Amino acid sequence: SQQGEEDPQALSIQEGENATMNCSYKTSINNLQWYRQNSGRGLVHLILIRSNEREKHSGRLRVTLDTSKKSSSLLITASRAADTASYFCATRDQGAQKLVFGQGTRLTINP
Quick one: which of 27, 28, 45, 55 contacts other proteins (CB under 8 A)?
45
Quick one: which of 14, 42, 82, 111 contacts other proteins (CB under 8 A)?
42
Q: Of the candidates 13, 61, 73, 101, which one interacts with other proteins according to CB under 8 A?
A: 101
Which among 108, 84, 1, 99 has a CA at the least distance from the CA of 48? Answer: 99
Residue 61 binds other proteins (CB under 8 A): no
Please state whether the peptide bond connecting residue 8 to the residue before it is cis, i.e. omega within 30 degrees of 0: yes
Please answer whether residues 2 and 50 qualify as being in contact, where contact means their C-beta atoms are separated by less than 8 angstroms: no
Q: Which residues bind other proteins (CB under 8 A)?
A: 2, 30-31, 33, 35, 40-45, 48, 88, 92, 95-104
